[in-house]
């Protein structure tokens, strides 16, 4: 491959931007650095205005859907829904450390499934810190609960594509529908998350106390206020809990079914937010204006800017080289071997440069291949597994884990990379391989049914 000035410029800008996103000098939002990098490649003429328009139409629906999910979670947080869930968590644990571990993992899975992984991290992590601070858990005993929650929450974006913005963008790139993703991925990825949780319990069980003492905790006891923090949490009426849970579950089913009906994901997501707002407006004095100002709009900017950077790499020929590599690999290997390799390559890229650009690069390369539907879908799912689960080996692999580290640091909890990777190096690569085998088994069953 010939290294042109454009190639060198796009590569340097991309890696410099990723260093800024990961290290966050001056503690600015990640979107600020990503936007600066995107503007640079535009000024250099690497990305055209026509490319910008194409990028916007590719991520518009996904971004609105994810932000709507954030707002939905924010409204529930404001009415005290998640505080009530946390209180139930303590009651159900019956002061058993192992039981609290499993309940926390289950809650993390459900929150990502019903909202999204970043929202789960932003809401659940501060709540867990407050919950654990109100117990007899020692400092080192909190680590297994907090780490498992973060890893399970992030990995749980794999089963349904609507839980992660990059998954939704990937679906658009590859031309797959959301219900196809769920049909092929829900069971294998869920089994993968269960396998990961068992691995984490095996690795961390010695640090989990058998029993603990708890006391009532206040949702406002922490000095750190996360982006979705309610200004005045109301106490939710227990009678409304079942109604709200049914509504959220119904919304998820409608979103997954929308592609079969030809309906817009973003339109349905906005409609769901408006319905919940109308229900809670009078009873809980919810202000939509205040809610909208607290929504993480930077998620859209971050995704848009990262996509511009990836388009820059695509325009200078990097994805063409990646396409050749993937074509040779898929042709020369059996399906199982190529799927595992694709997942591990995606995982390695994600841990080096973050899973947003890694997934986009791999998907753009895959979209240029002319594969039969089974191999195409298997390769797509392998990339998703590598991006959503495999990216967890290092703390910089996902935006969610970067947010998690920031929240912990603001609450006086410092997690060393050594402590983090001592667990993830053993658990994550094995989980990726096992989840790919679950996927291939599911594909084989469906082919022979």
Mean pLDDT of 407-417: 88
Q: What is the pLDDT of residue 371?
A: 82
Side-chain-side CA neighbours of residue 418 (13 Å)? 0
Whole-number percent of the chain with pLDDT over 70:
94
pLDDT at 235 over 70: no
What average pLDDT does this structure show over 353-367?
88
What are the angstrom distances between the C-alpha of 404 and each of 196, 270, 348, 359, 372?
19, 27, 21, 21, 39
For residue 233, pLDDT beyond 80? no
Tokens of 218: 């206040």
Q: Decide: residue 421, CB within 10 A, 0-12 exposed, 13-18 middle, 19+ buried.
A: middle
Whether the predicted pLDDT of 438 surpasses 90? yes
Distance of CA 363 to the CA centre of its chain: 17
Residue 113 has pLDDT above 80, yes or no: yes
- The whole-number pLDDT of residue 218 equals 57
What does the pLDDT read at residue 231?
38
The predicted pLDDT at position 286 comes to 81
- The predicted model gives 385-394 an average pLDDT of 96
Per-residue pLDDT, 168: 87
Which residues constitute the domain of residue 138?
Answer: 5-447
pTM score, whole prediction: 0.86
pLDDT in tens, 249-264: 898 888 888 767 777 8
pLDDT tier for residue 449 given thresholds of 50, 70 and 90: low
Specify the DSSP class assigned to residue 393: G
108-114 mean pLDDT: 93
Sequence-distant (≥ 6) Cβ neighbours of residue 66 within 8 angstroms: 116, 118, 164, 165, 168, 299
Residue 279 is predicted with a pLDDT of: 86
pLDDT of residue 332: 85
pLDDT of 66 reads 84
Mean pLDDT for 221-248 is 62
Specify which of 198-202, 319-323, 331-335 reaches the highest per-range mean pLDDT: 198-202
- Give the per-residue pLDDT at 93: 92
Q: 38-44: long-range contacts at Cβ-Cβ below 8 A with a sequence spacing of 24 or more?
A: 38/304, 38/305, 38/306, 38/308, 38/309, 40/13, 41/9, 41/10, 41/13, 41/308, 41/309, 41/312, 42/308, 44/6, 44/9, 44/10, 44/13
Number of domains in the chain: 1
Region for residue 185 given its phi and psi (left: phi exceeds 0; alpha: psi -120 to 50; beta: otherwise): alpha
DSSP codes, 135-199: BS--HHHHHHHHHHHHHHHHHTTSSSGGG-HHHHHHHHHHT--HHHHHHHHHHHHHHHHHHHHHH
**How confident is the model over 157-169, as a mean pLDDT?**
86
pLDDT of residue 441: 95
Nearest-CA neighbor of 12 among 392, 228, 412, 313? 313
| pLDDT tens, position by position, 57-79 | 888 888 888 888 888 888 888 88
For position 56, what pLDDT does the model report? 87
What mean pLDDT comes out for the span 23-35?
Answer: 88
**pLDDT of amino acid 229:** 47
Confidence of residue 228 (pLDDT cuts 50, 70, 90): very low
Q: pLDDT band for position 226 (50/70/90)?
A: very low
pLDDT of residue 369: 84
| pLDDT value of residue 175 | 82
What pLDDT is attached to residue 232?
Answer: 43
pLDDT at site 383 = 95
Residue 347 has pLDDT above 90, yes or no: yes
The string of pLDDT tens digits covering residues 283-329 is 888 888 888 887 778 877 888 898 899 999 989 988 888 888 888 88
Residues in the chain: 449
Query: What gap in Å lies between CA 22 and CA 321, rounded to an integer?
Result: 26
User: What per-residue confidence (pLDDT) applies to 227?
Assistant: 42
What pLDDT is recorded for position 1? Answer: 57
């Amino acid at each position: 491959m010939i290294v042109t000035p454009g190639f060198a410029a796009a590569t340097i800008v991309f890696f410099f931007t990723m260093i800024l996103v990961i290290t966050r000098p001056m503690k600015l939002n990640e979107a600020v650095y990503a936007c600066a990098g995107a503007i640079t490649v535009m000024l250099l003429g690497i990305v055209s205005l026509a490319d910008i328009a194409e990028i916007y139409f590719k991520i518009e629906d996904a971004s609105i859907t994810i932000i709507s999910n954030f707002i939905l979670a924010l409204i529930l947080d404001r009415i005290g829904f998640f505080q009530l869930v946390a209180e139930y968590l303590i009651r159900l644990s019956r002061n058993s450390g192992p039981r609290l571990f499993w309940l926390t993992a289950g809650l993390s899975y459900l929150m990502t499934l019903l909202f999204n992984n970043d929202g789960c991290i932003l809401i659940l992590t501060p709540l867990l810190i407050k919950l654990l601070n109100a117990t007899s858990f020692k400092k080192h005993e909190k680590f297994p609960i907090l780490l498992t929650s973060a890893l399970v929450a992030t990995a749980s974006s794999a089963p349904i594509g609507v839980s992660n913005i990059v998954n939704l963008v990937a679906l658009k790139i590859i031309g797959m529908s959301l219900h196809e993703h769920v049909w092929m991925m829900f069971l294998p990825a869920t089994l993968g998350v269960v396998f990961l949780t068992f691995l984490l319990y095996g690795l961390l069980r010695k640090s989990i106390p058998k029993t603990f003492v708890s006391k009532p905790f206040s949702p406002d006891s922490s000095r750190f206020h996360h982006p979705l923090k309610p200004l005045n949490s109301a106490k939710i009426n227990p009678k409304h809990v079942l109604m709200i849970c049914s509504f959220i579950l119904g919304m998820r089913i409608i979103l997954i079914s929308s592609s079969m009906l030809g309906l817009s994901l973003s339109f349905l997501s906005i409609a769901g937010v408006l319905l919940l707002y109308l229900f809670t407006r009078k009873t809980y004095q919810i202000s939509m204006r205040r809610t909208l100002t607290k929504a993480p709009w930077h998620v859209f900017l971050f995704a848009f800017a990262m996509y511009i950077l990836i388009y820059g790499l695509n325009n200078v020929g990097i994805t063409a080289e990646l396409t050749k590599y993937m074509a040779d690999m898929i042709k020369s290997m059996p399906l199982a071997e190529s799927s595992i390799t694709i997942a591990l390559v995606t995982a390695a890229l994600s841990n080096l440069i973050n899973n947003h650009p890694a997934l986009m690069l791999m998907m753009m390369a895959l979209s240029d291949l002319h594969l039969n539907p089974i191999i195409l879908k298997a390769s797509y799912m392998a990339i998703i597994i590598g991006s959503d689960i495999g990216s967890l080996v290092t703390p910089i692999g996902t935006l969610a884990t970067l947010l998690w580290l920031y929240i912990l640091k603001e609450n006086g909890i410092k997690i060393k990379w050594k402590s983090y990777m001592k667990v993830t190096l053993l658990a994550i690569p094995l989980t990726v391989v096992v989840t790919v085998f679950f996927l291939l088994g599911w594909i084989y069953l469906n082919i022979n049914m």
